[in-house]
Structure 1
Amino acid sequence: MLAIAAIIDYPSDWLMFRKITGNAESGLSATYVLKICALWLLFKPTSMFRFSLFLCVTIATLFILLPCVANHLVFAFVVACSIIAAWAGLLIRDKTLNINPSTLYNTFSPIIRVEVLLLYFWAVIHKFNSGFFNSSISCSTIHIFKLKDQIHFLPTFEALITVNIYLTIFIEILIPLFLIFRQTRMIGLLLGLLFHLVVSFSYPGFTAMIYATLSLFWTNHLYYTPRNQTNKHGPSMSDTRPPLPNTIYYSLQICALFAILALLSYMYSRQWNYLRISINQMLVAAYALVIILYFIGIILPRWRTMNSAVPIFRTSSHYLWVFPAILFLNGLTPYLGIKNTQAFAMFSNLSTERGKTNHLFIPPSIQLSNNLSDLVQINESSDSVINAFGKTIREHPWTSTYIPLSSSYFGSKYGVQSGWRFDLPYFMLRSRITELRKNGVKGVYVNYIRDGKTFVTSNAEKDPHLSTAPYLARKFLLMRAVPREVTGLCMW
């Protein structure tokens, strides 16, 4: 399922970021290689070599694309690193390349399950802010109107908009809570699958990725054998298989897939007034529905025999806990003043810039860094990327600065302005000028205001401070621009 997510995700709009940073060719090539490796793995998913190669290419591709990747791709990066680290640990321990797939699965799966819980944990915690509970700017409201752009008959009356704010948080709390306990795990899985089916219409890549990680909660084991089977040579990839669906369920799933695709394709080709979705969204929605059918028809009836009472969050490879720790610290970075994006605060309205916060119970006093307080106002620049921040804009891909409004939103009484003035974190100015210097750009002119003082330079690439941002910091510290007049806006 990770391979399927890789094929669905990494769309061309993320590669647009690399065009801005001058790395479009390497990013595009890496993405193509990743998709080829994913397809190769799908033809033989039992191959350990293909699986490990796919993970290594995933890590390399995402590292090339950093820092301009979405929240869920940062999560996918850590997941891939966790699995490769588990595989490397087994290689060192057993001193053999012939790693038992079940042993590998039992080593990394508890860690990734915890990582999934942490993803939901931060998604919920970040939403406890005044902006998210303000129905006029809440990301919950924005999401309803974005769905309405595609599904025109979706209701948007006042009561639904208000209830949806609390319903979103309630569901995102219940999913991880139910996943923790064995008695409620299947309810949590079904709730998660249905919730992310709705999300898939706006963010198909995220749904494909989360489905892959949620599948680790289906069973304690890599493979499930309905009958007791023994092999004198021990377990192998051929005699331990997942439960095969019976003919009826299998046929229903395939028929449902093609029926849904046919219906949606018809609606799309005719530009039906009640439904406007892309081909990618159609495919992901159909894929999600097939997974849900498989879960209900195959996994649920066999769940008690597929799962033992063994704890699913326990691993003998304790060194792997460093990866959940990294995820936890990454989610904490907005409150520490380190960065304000790629911290799983997507669609949360969280604002921790300028030494302030709109969070309801995490105070700004714990901020350790001034990255989000040290802001500059761009007046003018010869570089089009920097110069854009001196204008009124709504989005800018280089800093992952997006205010996702929709035509339905503008047409409602919640309609707001379509552009804002932004201040740019000083580190991001340094990061951009450093990239320009490394790309050999000469005569970079920039006029900006910092701490009330105006700075003008005609050769910023020669400035010893502006042009020397550290490489790893530029890779892992992405900061979006900050709206100048307002705070708490829904930003991706």
Structure 2
Amino acid sequence: MSIPLLSFKQAFTAQGINYYSFLNESASPEKYASSQLKYKIFCCLWAISSIFHMANFHGFSINLTYFLLTASAIGLMVKPSSTVRLLIFISLQIYQAATDMPKTPNHWVLAACVNLTIIQSYVYLILKRKSFYIDKVELLETFAPLAKIMVIAVYFFAVFHKLNSGFFNAEASCAVEFLMLQNSYYNFLPSSKTLLTLNIYATIAVEALIPLLICFRKTRYWGILLGLLFHWVLAYNPLNGFYDFSASIMALYFLFTSNSFSNKIYSVYKKTLQRKKGIKNQLLKFNVVNFALFSLSILFALVLINIYTKKFDDYFRHVIWTAYSVSFIIVFILSMRARDDDKEEKTFTYAHYSLLIIPILVFLNGLCPYLGLKTESSYAMFSNLRTEGGVTNHFIVPASTQIFDYQKDVVEVVSSSDPYLNRMAQEGKMLVFFQFRKHVKKNLPANVTYIRNGEKKTFELSKAKYNDELFSGSYVLDKVMDFRHFYKAGEQRCTH
């Protein structure tokens, strides 16, 4: 049939337009309705994950973009059925992730890639249907398999990067440091050397089991449950506010669930509203008991706030994250019995090969350390991986796989007027020349003495010329690539 021209309002709101119905291609009206519900819940969870990200970085008011991102996330939670609100939200997230480059956190990189895939899927469906009206269920079923592929890819590299001598060395391993820090803060686990060593193998085992289990329908819910518990515990580590990463992963786990989980969430939500209404009507009746309960509730809340304020320095982690994550896990456990309603679901089936562009980029991003490219934002966080200076501590991948020379060109700082560079020298840390040059170019220290390729050099800002090697570089490469520091001697210790 011919498609009439769209007005501006129709094109951006899809008001009154229904040129096609994906219900005709769906298995049943019941499944279609459940999938609509799943789409709305995912939009809410995806928006909530960005709130946790901004809470960790105290970013609610850092700049206008963060403010707009916060506002768009809240707007999407208020009306998750709005495609316009979703597109505004994910566009702002992509913009912010690009602005943060090359210091974009790993989970924020993953979130940006998922959002790029949603936009790509939306454009693909516009071209396919020749309409600006895109059925939300079809949109979900188009981008969800691609997001799942990206989750598996990130887990693969999270494990693969850790297969190195540093991570399995109890004196240097991030797994040991994480457990010691968590135990020093909460002080309820034994800290024997045996337990610390076992945690290395337990970390590898859990991170390998999660993607393996969720790849298969029969074990998927057990894999998700294991992942939920793992990331729930990890979020309480005082080293970092890992609840931002955990919230993102939990939202993406939701895409692996069957419609029964969405129905369970909605059921719990409706029951909560009914109970709330009943309790409210009961408490509105004035009597001595109700007045006493109200007064005691206020007093109890104030006492609890006072205790939390004195005991914990991160209320968002211990109050907001705890309430959110525990509720999510409980509802998920309650839904596990009804997990077989999507037996014919094909988890990783994609609509068109062109939609694999972003997942492939996600995989290539994880390969960067072994290709001689960047070592930050490549899912190698806290892995003890060392690939710089023509050597590697990885058990499988040799240094000879590096087809780019960025990591081979390294610098040892001898002394500097710059506090960061001087600390590198005192702590026996080295830098890739690419990263060293970026730091000098940006911060312009008065002087720095360094050794590059066996040659000792001195940079003095007052005598520097415009063509000095430390003033060179490409804006695009500087924006895309970032390298961590590494230790001159011994195992690579725990760093981001």
Deviations 1:11-44 (A, max 9, x none): 57587xxxxxxxxx9x732222211111111111
TM-score (norm 2): 0.78
Summarize the alignment of residues 370-409 of structure 1 with structure 2, pairs less than 5 Å apart: 370-381=405-416, 384=418, 387-391=419-423
Name 2:454's counterpart in structure 1.
452
Deviations 1:394-420 (A, max 9, x none): xxxxxxxxxxxxxxxxxxxxxxxxx72
Moved more, 187-196 or 447-456: 447-456
Asked whether 1:50 is paired with 2:90, we answer no
CA distance in 2, matches of 1:252, 1:76: 36
Name 2:47's counterpart in structure 1.
3
Summarize the alignment of residues 155-170 of structure 1 with structure 2, pairs less than 5 Å apart: 155-170=190-205
Name 1:245's counterpart in structure 2.
268
Using the TM superposition, give the Cα deviation of residue 155 of structure 1 relative to its aligned residue in structure 2, in angstroms.
Answer: 1.9
Using the TM superposition, give the Cα deviation of residue 431 of structure 1 relative to its aligned residue in structure 2, in angstroms.
Answer: 2.4
Using the TM superposition, give the Cα deviation of residue 310 of structure 1 relative to its aligned residue in structure 2, in angstroms.
Answer: 2.4
Summarize the alignment of residues 18-97 of structure 1 with structure 2, pairs less than 5 Å apart: 28-97=63-132
Deviations 1:115-167 (A, max 9, x none): 11111111111111111111121111111012113212222122221221111
Name 1:424's counterpart in structure 2.
431
CA distance in 2, matches of 1:3, 1:344: 22
Name 2:328's counterpart in structure 1.
291
- Are the counterparts in 2 of residues 424 and 481 from structure 1 also a CA contact under 8 Å? yes
Asked whether 1:472 is paired with 2:479, we answer no
- Are the counterparts in 1 of residues 103 and 377 from structure 2 also a CA contact under 8 Å? no
Q: Percent identity?
A: 31
Matched to 2:423, the amino acid is K
- Are the counterparts in 2 of residues 460 and 466 from structure 1 also a CA contact under 8 Å? no
Summarize the alignment of residues 199-278 of structure 1 with structure 2, pairs less than 5 Å apart: 199-202=234-237, 203-219=242-258, 243-245=266-268, 265=305, 267-271=307-311, 276=312, 278=314
1:303 aligns with one of 339, 346, 355: 339
Please give the secondary structure, in 1, of the residue aligned with 2:427: coil
Deviations 1:52-80 (A, max 9, x none): 11000000011111111222111112111
CA distance in 1, matches of 2:198, 2:351: 44
CA distance in 1, matches of 2:464, 2:436: 10
Name 2:317's counterpart in structure 1.
281
Deviations 1:67-110 (A, max 9, x none): 11222111112111111111122223223221111111010000
Deviations 1:339-363 (A, max 9, x none): 2221111121111111111111111
CA distance in 1, matches of 2:93, 2:175: 31
CA distance in 2, matches of 1:193, 1:263: 31
- Are the counterparts in 2 of residues 118 and 327 from structure 1 also a CA contact under 8 Å? yes
TM-score (norm 1): 0.79
Deviations 1:454-478 (A, max 9, x none): 1434355722643232222112211
Matched to 1:287, the amino acid is Y
- Are the counterparts in 2 of residues 30 and 61 from structure 1 also a CA contact under 8 Å? yes
CA distance in 1, matches of 2:329, 2:452: 53
CA distance in 1, matches of 2:467, 2:236: 46
Please give the secondary structure, in 2, of the residue aligned with 1:310: coil
Structure with greater helix percent: 2
Using the TM superposition, give the Cα deviation of residue 264 of structure 1 relative to its aligned residue in structure 2, in angstroms.
Answer: 7.4
Moved more, 286-295 or 480-489: 480-489
Paired residues in the alignment total 425
Matched to 2:193, the amino acid is E
Please give the secondary structure, in 2, of the residue aligned with 1:333: helix
CA 1:222–1:196 in 2, change beyond 3 Å: closer, same or farther?
closer
Please give the secondary structure, in 2, of the residue aligned with 1:378: strand
CA distance in 2, matches of 1:466, 1:219: 54
- Are the counterparts in 1 of residues 261 and 332 from structure 2 also a CA contact under 8 Å? no
Deviations 1:188-247 (A, max 9, x none): 1111111111111121111111111111001279976x9xxxxxxxxxxxxxxx743376
Larger Rg: 2
Structure 2 segments unaligned to the other structure (5+ residues) = 1-44, 280-296
2:493 aligns with one of 486, 489, 492: 489
Please give the secondary structure, in 2, of the residue aligned with 1:81: helix
CA distance in 2, matches of 1:287, 1:113: 22
1:180 aligns with one of 212, 215, 234: 215
CA distance in 1, matches of 2:338, 2:272: 14
Structure 1 segments unaligned to the other structure (5+ residues) = 16-24, 227-241, 394-418
Using the TM superposition, give the Cα deviation of residue 10 of structure 1 relative to its aligned residue in structure 2, in angstroms.
Answer: 3.2
Name 2:181's counterpart in structure 1.
146
CA distance in 1, matches of 2:58, 2:407: 24
CA distance in 2, matches of 1:102, 1:86: 12
- Are the counterparts in 2 of residues 37 and 54 from structure 1 also a CA contact under 8 Å? yes
Summarize the alignment of residues 327-366 of structure 1 with structure 2, pairs less than 5 Å apart: 327-366=362-401
Please give the secondary structure, in 1, of the residue aligned with 2:47: helix
CA distance in 2, matches of 1:391, 1:277: 28
CA 1:194–1:345 in 2, change beyond 3 Å: closer, same or farther?
same
- Are the counterparts in 2 of residues 200 and 207 from structure 1 also a CA contact under 8 Å? yes
Deviations 1:408-466 (A, max 9, x none): xxxxxxxxxxx723222111233235546xxxx7x965443211221434355722643
- Are the counterparts in 1 of residues 388 and 432 from structure 2 also a CA contact under 8 Å? no
CA distance in 1, matches of 2:261, 2:352: 17
CA distance in 2, matches of 1:262, 1:217: 40
